[in-house]
């Protein structure tokens, strides 16, 4: 154990703490990821202290020089963490004292780890969210540009995992791009609401030194300053909002992964995944497993679990800071790492997969044009509900004869409704089918092209915001 004088709060406590309690309380094993932003916050705070007169300029310069040295040590991997370092804040302060002496003790004047840690976490997340945003935009861009190139490919669309109606492959790709675009907008909202400075709030009552919080805001490039000190040191809304965004993003990625897993099976054979994103079996030589997509799907549960955990932590807390809030950082770090990995892998999968156009076309069976047959009757003047019933009768008749619906004779169809004419044969054309959906958002080529143009413009705006 460290000597009493080495402990930050040694004046109040006597004896030593239970070593298991020390281990439980310490966060240095993971919050050292905040090292650089912790130094940034300390540099800004030293400048603010100098302005109050508490810190002479010469001492401020020594502190700044020491902090720059510590930053260099972290960047080079030369910083030595000691077993007495409880967290990143005490580790940096301990090292600063080793470099410049007792002057280092002035840096914490009027500042609490309560406002220090929430400031650090916001700075870390602000940087991390920008990286995530870029990865997300790249994935959306990959989907959109692939949709533009492969716009003429048609395949069955599915509901309830049953063949439903023919669609363009591009319509499928863009359906996922649109969902991810909402996620990108959501992320921008999280970044905007998070960009509020908590530093200068002290432990809970505020800062007693008339600290210039506008100076702190400017130095750390926050958009605004927190209004209430008690709220500022304890609020973790920005953590919950980030984890909520991440959960919804992972749900969207999981859905896309599941679709592609199904499409890549030998039973479907619509797409072939690159070997780069697949693995084999330890027993079965023929296997090519879509592990990349399965891992994306699996990580969705992990991210949701992080959200559920932090919500439960926050639910039972009284006002201001409580040690329970130490749980926020591991959740954030884990989810940041997860998103960075899965977004890059998802982009790689989309950019390298091969489509099997012949298999897609082979899967286009006549019965998925049944709604088109009903619309044929509608255009002849029949109410849709009756057209639905008569088309159902045609399907049943074809099944009873053991033939596809397009092989029913005109006499067969006329036995169901006299509105059927020789022009009914034009219904059974997959290209004509997709081309009738010209309304905004539909799968006609003109509509899909409009979606692509819209998303390209939206990507430009989102990139500027990122």
Among residues 160, 282, 379, 422, which one is catalytic?
Answer: 160
Three-state DSSP class for residue 282: coil
Classify residue 430 by burial, with Cβ atoms within 10 Å: 0-12, 13-18, 19+.
buried
Nearest partner of 292 among 254, 241, 243, 236, judged by Cα: 254
CA gyration radius for the chain?
31
25, 65, 218, 281: the catalytic one is: 281
Q: In this structure, are residues 270 and 356 in contact, taking their beta carbons and an 8 Å threshold?
A: yes
Contacts 24+ apart (CB under 8 A), 71-74: 71/35, 71/36, 71/39, 74/35, 74/36, 74/39
DSSP H helical ranges for 202-284: 213-220, 229-234, 237-263
Residues with Cβ < 8 Å from 454, sequence gap 6 or more? none
Round to whole Å and give the CA distance between 439 and 400. Answer: 36
281 flagged as catalytic: yes
Specify which residues 159 forms β-bridges with: 162
CA–CA separation, 162 and 152 (whole Å): 23
Buried b (16+ CB within 10 A) or exposed e, 247-283: bbbbebbbebbebbbbbbeeebebbbbeeebbeeeee
Please tell me what DSSP assigns to residue 186. Answer: H
Q: Catalytic positions, please? A: 160, 281
């Amino acid at each position: 154990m460290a000597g009493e004088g080495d402990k930050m709060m040694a004046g109040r406590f006597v004896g030593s703490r239970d070593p298991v309690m020390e281990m439980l309380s310490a966060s240095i094993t993971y919050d050292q990821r905040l090292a650089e932003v912790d130094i940034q916050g300390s540099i800004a705070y030293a400048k603010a202290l100098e302005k109050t007169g508490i810190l002479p300029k010469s001492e401020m310069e020594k502190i700044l020089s020491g902090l720059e040295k510590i930053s260099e040590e972290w960047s080079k991997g030369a910083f030595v963490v000691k077993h007495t370092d409880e967290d990143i804040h005490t580790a940096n302060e301990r090292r600063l004292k080793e470099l410049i002496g007792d002057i280092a003790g002035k840096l914490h004047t009027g500042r609490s780890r309560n406002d220090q840690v929430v400031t650090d976490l916001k700075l870390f997340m602000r940087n991390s969210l920008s990286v995530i945003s870029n990865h997300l935009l790249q994935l959306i861009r990959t989907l959109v540009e692939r949709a533009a190139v492969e716009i003429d490919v048609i395949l069955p669309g599915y509901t309830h995992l049953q063949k439903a109606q023919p669609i363009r492959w591009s319509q499928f790709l863009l359906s996922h791009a649109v969902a991810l675009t909402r996620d990108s907008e959501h992320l921008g909202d999280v970044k905007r609401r998070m960009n509020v400075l908590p530093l200068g709030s002290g432990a809970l009552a505020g800062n007693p030194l008339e600290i210039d919080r506008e100076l702190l805001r400017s130095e750390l490039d926050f958009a605004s300053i927190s209004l209430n000190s008690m709220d500022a040191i304890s609020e973790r809304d920005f953590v919950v909002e980030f984890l909520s965004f991440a959960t919804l993003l992972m749900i969207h990625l999981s859905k896309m992964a599941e679709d592609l897993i199904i499409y890549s099976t030998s039973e479907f054979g619509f797409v072939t995944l690159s070997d780069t994103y697949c693995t084999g079996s330890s027993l079965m030589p023929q296997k090519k497993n879509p592990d990349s997509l399965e891992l994306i799907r699996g990580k969705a549960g992990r991210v949701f679990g992080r959200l559920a955990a932090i919500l439960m932590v926050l639910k039972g807390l009284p006002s201001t800071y409580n040690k329970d809030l130490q749980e926020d950082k591991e959740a954030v770090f884990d989810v940041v790492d997860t998103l960075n990995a899965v977004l890059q892998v998802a982009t790689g999968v989309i950019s390298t997969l091969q489509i099997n156009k012949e298999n897609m076309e082979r899967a286009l069976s006549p019965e998925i044009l049944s709604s088109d047959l009903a619309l044929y009757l509608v255009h002849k003047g029949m109410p849709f509900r009756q057209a639905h019933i008569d088309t159902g009768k045609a399907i049943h008749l074809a099944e009873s004869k053991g033939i596809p619906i397009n092989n029913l004779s005109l006499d067969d169809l006329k036995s169901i409704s006299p509105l059927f004419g020789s022009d009914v044969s034009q219904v059974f054309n997959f290209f004509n089918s997709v081309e009738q959906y010209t309304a905004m958002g539909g799968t006609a080529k003109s509509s899909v092209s409009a979606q692509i143009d819209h998303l390209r413009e939206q990507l430009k705006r989102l990139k500027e915001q990122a």
